[in-house]
Amino acid sequence: MQFPLLSVIVFTPISAAMLLLLYKPEQKKAIRITALTAALFALALSIVVYSTYNKAAAGYQFIERYSWMPAMGISLYFGVDGLSVPLVLLTGIVMVTGVMISWGIEDRPREFFAFLFILASGVFGVFCSLDLFMLFFFYEIAVFPMYLLIAIWGWIKTREYAAMKLTLYLFIGSVISLVGALVMYKTSGMNTFNMLDLEHAAFSTGFQKTWFPFVFLGFAVLGGIFPFHNWSPDGHVAAPTAVSMFHAGVLMKLGAFAALRVGIMLLPEGAKFWAPVIMVLALVNIVYGAFIASVQTDFKYVIGFSSVSHMGLVMMGFATLTPEGLTGAGVQMFSHGVMTALFFAAVGMVYDRAHTRDIPRLGGMIKPLPLVGIGVIIGSLVSMGMPGFSGFIAEFPIFMGIWKTQWVVAVIAAISIVVTASYVLLVVRKVFFGRMPDEFEGHIAPVRTLDKIALVLLMAIMIGIGVFPSLMVPWVQAGVQHVLALLGGA
């Protein structure tokens, strides 16, 4: 029998979490080392999955299926396709870098890492699940630790409010999707939650049109779609660094991915019908998000709203329903994940030292924190879609896809690129260059080695994909083929 790679990946973090809870709260060092080991193990396995995925054969691979509840057609059914493989890898990367950056957490690290890892298991589970029931199971597992992580370790000023807001938004979204999924289960009459079977359920067009908005939007709440994006900047800002990284980097993809897998892939006719609406919503995300980001004075809010804008591009890519758009969206999910993780890591490092994120009060940080500065610059270049970085590989096909469907939308959306360029560069100039305020002189300690490793890793990935798109694009294309087949064939 083949080694059950995917289930080991999914259950590694949660097993590690249980192990962590067996330690005494005072054994902080042992806890951190265990956490890092588990994260590295999960990353190593996800690299194995990524590199051995057969792009030529495409389709779902590494399939594992364990009957969980035959009476209702529920099974623990794992498998990855070209769209989910990069996201599994992304989760592994963010997990490792997140642990490295959270090394310094002194307040109850045992619980912190345990909750973070439960979250990670949920995320892996959603990306790997081919069973609709289990997808929800893991989806909810990914939602609730967020509340605790933000509420306990978050920014003291807004954490209670932001954590509750975020949790309620996401929970509302997911339960609405859940009702949609249950209706799908009933209507299909196939007595199975197996998504590969449900893809061929041949739901009537009327049914698809009725339920698509519920299912899609329910998940898209977590993807930050307008007008349900409101939780996300608040949540990102209030969260501790590693959680912001996880949240903007991976969790928002979870929403987008589930919206694609459950909404678009199971209800393709509904997707075609509602695509224009989604496109408009995504357009608002892109442009409005960029403008709001440009007027923020809090460094972290800038990144928070830029996430809203960039996730809009993902949704937009989905809504084009073209090969270019979907491929771009697939790459954008990965690229944005790495980029935001880097941004939030950098913001966290600056904040930990300067104790402020107020952009006008910062300045000259490049001198004490050169690597952080370089990281933010590279992140900015990715963010504005500069060729040679992963952002370009993602955004260019998306815009091609939009142009093919609605050129007007492409023109309007392109405004965001200009706005993005202006605000990220402004932030870079104000925070990292110019004169450093006297209060910080001599108070900014250099970053730790682990932080450096994390930053370099994230940067290397963005440049790597930018220079060699073939490191990622063929995977995504293999996955997109299947989606297109469902859209065309249905």
Measured from the CB atom, the residue of 145 and 337 that comes closer to other proteins is 145
Least distance (Å) from other proteins to the CB of residue 255?
Answer: 17
Measured from the CB atom, the residue of 135 and 427 that comes closer to other proteins is 135
Least distance (Å) from other proteins to the CB of residue 357?
Answer: 22
Is residue 155 part of the contact set for other proteins (CB under 8 A)? no
For other proteins, what does the binding mask look like between residues 349 and 388, x meaning CB under 8 A? ----------------------------------------
Is residue 140 part of the contact set for other proteins (CB under 8 A)? yes
Is residue 206 part of the contact set for other proteins (CB under 8 A)? no
Binding positions for other proteins, 42-81, rule CB under 8 A: 67-72, 74
CA dihedral (234, 340, 401, 486) positive or negative: negative
Measured from the CB atom, the residue of 137 and 396 that comes closer to other proteins is 137
Measured from the CB atom, the residue of 1 and 22 that comes closer to other proteins is 22
Is residue 106 part of the contact set for other proteins (CB under 8 A)? no
Is residue 141 part of the contact set for other proteins (CB under 8 A)? yes
Least distance (Å) from other proteins to the CB of residue 235?
Answer: 14
**In which residue are the tokens 């966290």 written?**
348
Is residue 146 part of the contact set for other proteins (CB under 8 A)? no
Is residue 30 part of the contact set for other proteins (CB under 8 A)? no
In order of 254, 279, 314, 340, the CA distances from 282 in angstroms are 17, 5, 8, 19
Least distance (Å) from other proteins to the CB of residue 14?
Answer: 8
Least distance (Å) from other proteins to the CB of residue 156?
Answer: 10
Binding positions for other proteins, 117-136, rule CB under 8 A: 133, 136
Asked if 237 contacts 301 with a C-beta cutoff of 8 angstroms, the reply is yes
Stretch near other proteins under the rule CB under 8 A, chosen from 151-159, 308-316, 410-418, 468-476: 151-159
C-alpha–C-alpha distance, residues 400 and 405, integer Å: 9
Measured from the CB atom, the residue of 170 and 354 that comes closer to other proteins is 170
Is residue 480 part of the contact set for other proteins (CB under 8 A)? no
Is residue 144 part of the contact set for other proteins (CB under 8 A)? yes
Give the total of residues touching other proteins (CB under 8 A): 39
Asked if 68 contacts 75 with a C-beta cutoff of 8 angstroms, the reply is yes
Is residue 171 part of the contact set for other proteins (CB under 8 A)? yes
Which position among 41, 103, 137, 155 is part of the footprint of other proteins (CB under 8 A)?
137
Which position among 19, 47, 48, 152 is part of the footprint of other proteins (CB under 8 A)?
152
Is residue 11 part of the contact set for other proteins (CB under 8 A)? no
Which position among 20, 105, 110, 395 is part of the footprint of other proteins (CB under 8 A)?
110
Is residue 175 part of the contact set for other proteins (CB under 8 A)? yes
Is residue 19 part of the contact set for other proteins (CB under 8 A)? no
Residues that bind other proteins (CB under 8 A): 21, 25, 67-72, 74, 108, 110-111, 133, 136-138, 140-141, 143-144, 147-148, 151-152, 159-160, 164, 167-168, 171-172, 175-176, 178-179, 182-183, 185-186
